[in-house]
């Protein structure tokens, strides 16, 4: 992780779960971390868990990644104050139970806005910063095993638009790889696809079928840190992380 010392990393959805774990690991690895979330006070609380000589390296900013105006305002503030973005962890996500045929379309729209458009909004801003400064940065997309296989936990599935939103992330990862190359950069992109992770976002209908097989947020953060630690010529394109014994 030496190449990232004192560099700027932006983590979306940093208030809990995987985002919180990644933010802590990045700070402890010597990066300046800008944690984004709607519940910004949760990130401020996270700072208190860091060593006294490290907590100033975590900056909390309020941002709703599903809202383009919020993203533009927040990223412009980051670039103005800290000079640019070197690492982007697209972690913010939304998952709600329900069926495609009956669920409120506004709820499904919110899932798509967060899981798909939020990633695009944030990545566009980070890429512009990296390319303009000629920085060989790294963009990480927190995907899901649901982005590779439509999961069936019951006779009537409750995943609705969530798997399509994550299948989109699988496609977006490859599109970004091709675009980063075609536009003459050496910016890396990595998709991290966890299995069942014991976090706040995990609904009861999945917990019921997980049969006690859970990953922890720290396990996913370890995978992200490994991808970031690879030498400049190595790109981890896709990493799938499952708990031992998982049924999905």
CA 167 to CA 45: how far, in whole Å? 33
The residues with which 191 forms a beta bridge, in sequence order, are 141, 238
Q: Supply 171's token pair.
A: 């496609």
Q: Is 125:75 a contact under the CB 8 Å cutoff? A: yes
Catalytic positions, written as ranges: 162
Instruction: Return the exposure string of 8-35: e unless at least 16 CB atoms fall within 10 Å of the residue's CB, then b.
Output: bbbbbbbbbbbbbbbbbbbbebebbbbb
Q: Supply 100's token pair.
A: 């495609």
List own/partner pairs for 39-44 with CB under 8 A and 24 or more apart. 39/15, 40/15, 42/15, 42/16, 43/14, 43/15
Which one, of 59, 64, 50, lies nearest residue 12 by Cα? 64
- Helix pair angle (217-229, 17-28), 10° resolution: 50
């Amino acid at each position: 992780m030496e190449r990232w010392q004192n560099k700027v990393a932006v983590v979306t959805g940093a208030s809990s779960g995987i985002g919180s774990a990644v933010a802590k690991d990045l700070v402890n690895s010597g990066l300046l971390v800008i944690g984004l979330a709607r519940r910004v006070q949760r990130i401020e609380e996270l700072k208190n868990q860091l060593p006294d000589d490290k907590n100033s390296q975590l900056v909390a900013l309020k941002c709703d990644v599903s809202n383009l105006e919020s993203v533009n305002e927040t990223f412009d503030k980051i670039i103005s104050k800290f000079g640019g973005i070197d690492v982007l962890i697209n972690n913010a996500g939304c998952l709600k139970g329900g069926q495609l045929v009956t669920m409120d379309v506004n709820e499904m729209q919110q899932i798509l806005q967060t899981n798909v458009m939020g990633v695009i909004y944030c990545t566009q801003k980070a890429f512009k910063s990296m390319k303009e400064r000629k920085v060989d940065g790294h963009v990480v997309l927190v995907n899901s095993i649901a982005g590779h296989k439509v999961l069936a936990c019951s006779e009537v599935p409750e995943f609705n638009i969530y798997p399509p939103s994550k299948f989109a992330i699988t496609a977006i990862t490859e599109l970004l790889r091709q675009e980063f190359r075609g536009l003459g950069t050496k910016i890396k992109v990595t998709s991290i696809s966890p299995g069942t992770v014991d976090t706040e976002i995990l609904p009861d209908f999945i917990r019921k079928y997980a049969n006690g097989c859970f990953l922890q947020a720290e396990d996913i953060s370890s995978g992200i840190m490994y991808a970031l630690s690879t030498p400049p010529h190595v790109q981890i394109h896709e990493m799938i992380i499952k708990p031992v014994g998982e049924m999905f």
